């Protein structure tokens, strides 16, 4: 599906990439790997309604901060009792230092199915209550493309202290079928692949000329990451590969011309039947001609165009990557060059 993305580490356009997470992602996250995938901001679910607190919020916030990712908190809104929800949210933001300089702007998540009628009064009141209680003006407001086009009237409440965050899983990061001068963030996938997570994660990209510094409190830099030891060099002739959902060690071995035993030995895998999407392993790589390099499919790519560019054939690319239908490839997925 178009929503599955492992975004490139070295995109040359002016886009910043981020994630939003909740208790589903737990606290066993390799934040150095996340940072290494060019993730510069993260929004962590902190509260819901008037009583719920994400039990992993503190660990998630601290982990993101430890590697220099701008991190903020979000509130999953329910209808009713705006003042109670704001009080709950602000208290939990303060408990984790998420109203301090360098944090991502807090976010109001408007998507709960029990909202009926006109939700704009709720959003406007939430903004007023949040500003009065927190002493901050800055707030992100998140909803999906349907809400922004059919239910929300951002012109009534999105002043210069509000930035919009729109979800549309269209396979085209930073490009949304909704336009507003305050739209800055696009949630382009709910099945994103990010090294450091063992499952899917929501992925986001900035829109137009917006950059992450525009929605960081006080515009201050995030804390500098702690120094990390240099990674061990890859075996000669081998390259890094990020395990994808559905991969098996036997399948990877077949694609890369090696054996399950050799992959397990090289990568310290004790149980060849147990590997995790998002983890990075070493696989046989290039002979100097470019083969074995990983490439992320970009919007507009076709296998025939890539074959011409790489001096190979569509059949060779399809065989190397286990592609059953060469006419169906998806932006954001990864290929191994033959």
Domain with CATH 3.20.20.80 in the chain: 17-219
Judge whether 130 and 86 are in contact, CB under 8 Å. yes
Judge whether 78 and 43 are in contact, CB under 8 Å. no
C-alpha distances (whole Å) from 18 to each of 136, 149, 257, 289 are 22, 23, 35, 34
Residues paired with 143 in a beta bridge: 166
Strand-pair category, 17-21 with 201-206: antiparallel
Gap between the Cα atoms of 73 and 84, Å rounded: 17
Name which of 141, 129, 63 is nearest 105 in CA terms: 141
Tell the CATH topology of 17-219: TIM Barrel (3.20.20)
Domain with CATH 3.10.350.10 in the chain: 238-336
Tell the CATH topology of 238-336: Membrane-bound Lytic Murein Transglycosylase D; Chain A (3.10.350)
- Alpha-helical (H) ranges within 98-201 are 120-134, 145-146
Name which of 226, 215, 230, 274 is nearest 249 in CA terms: 274
Write down the pLDDT at residue 232: 46
Gap between the Cα atoms of 228 and 38, Å rounded: 16
Q: Which residue matches tokens 């899917």?
A: 200
DSSP string for 260-280: HHHHHHHHT-S-TT---TT-E
The one-digit pLDDT tens for each residue of the chain (338 residues) are 334 444 443 344 578 999 999 999 999 999 999 999 999 999 999 999 999 999 999 999 999 999 999 999 999 999 999 999 999 999 999 999 999 999 999 999 999 999 999 999 999 999 999 999 999 999 999 999 999 999 999 999 999 999 999 999 987 899 999 999 999 999 999 888 899 999 899 999 999 989 999 999 998 554 444 444 444 444 456 777 777 777 788 777 767 767 787 788 777 787 788 887 777 888 776 444 445 566 778 777 888 888 877 778 888 888 877 788 888 888 777 777 77
Gap between the Cα atoms of 13 and 220, Å rounded: 23
Structural Rg of the chain based on CA atoms: 22
């Amino acid at each position: 599906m178009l929503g599955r993305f492992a975004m490139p580490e070295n995109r040359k356009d002016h886009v910043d990439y981020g994630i939003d997470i909740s208790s589903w992602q737990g606290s066993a996250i390799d934040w150095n790997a996340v940072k290494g995938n060019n993730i510069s901001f993260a929004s962590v679910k902190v509260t819901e309604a008037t009583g719920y607190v994400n039990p992993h919020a503190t660990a998630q916030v601290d982990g993101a901060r430890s590697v220099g990712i701008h991190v903020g908190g979000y509130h999953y809104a329910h209808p009713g009792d705006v003042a109670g929800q704001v009080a709950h949210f602000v208290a939990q933001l303060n408990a984790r230092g998420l109203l301090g300089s360098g944090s991502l702007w807090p976010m109001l998540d408007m998507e709960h199915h029990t909202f009926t009628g006109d939700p704009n009064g709720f959003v406007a009141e939430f903004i007023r209550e949040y500003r009065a209680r927190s002493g901050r003006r800055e707030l992100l407001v998140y909803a999906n493309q349907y809400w922004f086009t059919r239910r929300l009237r951002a012109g009534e409440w999105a002043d210069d202290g509000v930035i919009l965050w729109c979800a549309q899983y269209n396979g085209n990061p930073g490009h949304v079928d909704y336009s507003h001068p305050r739209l800055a963030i696009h949630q382009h996938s709910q099945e994103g692949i990010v090294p450091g997570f063992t499952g899917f994660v929501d992925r986001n990209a900035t829109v137009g000329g917006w950059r992450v510094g525009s929605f960081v409190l006080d515009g201050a830099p995030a804390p500098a990451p702690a120094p990390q030891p240099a990674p061990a060099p890859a075996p000669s002739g081998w390259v890094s590969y990020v395990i994808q959902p559905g991969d098996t060690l036997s399948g990877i071995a077949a694609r890369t011309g090696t054996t399950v035993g050799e992959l397990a030995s090289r990568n310290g895998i004790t149980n060849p039947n147990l590997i995790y999407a998002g983890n990075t392993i070493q696989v046989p790589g290039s002979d100097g001609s470019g083969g074995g390099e990983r490439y992320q499919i970009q919007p507009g790519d076709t296998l025939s165009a890539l074959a011409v560019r790489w001096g190979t054939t569509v059949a060779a690319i399809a065989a190397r990557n286990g592609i059953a239908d060469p006419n169906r490839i998806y932006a954001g997925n990864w290929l191994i060059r033959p």
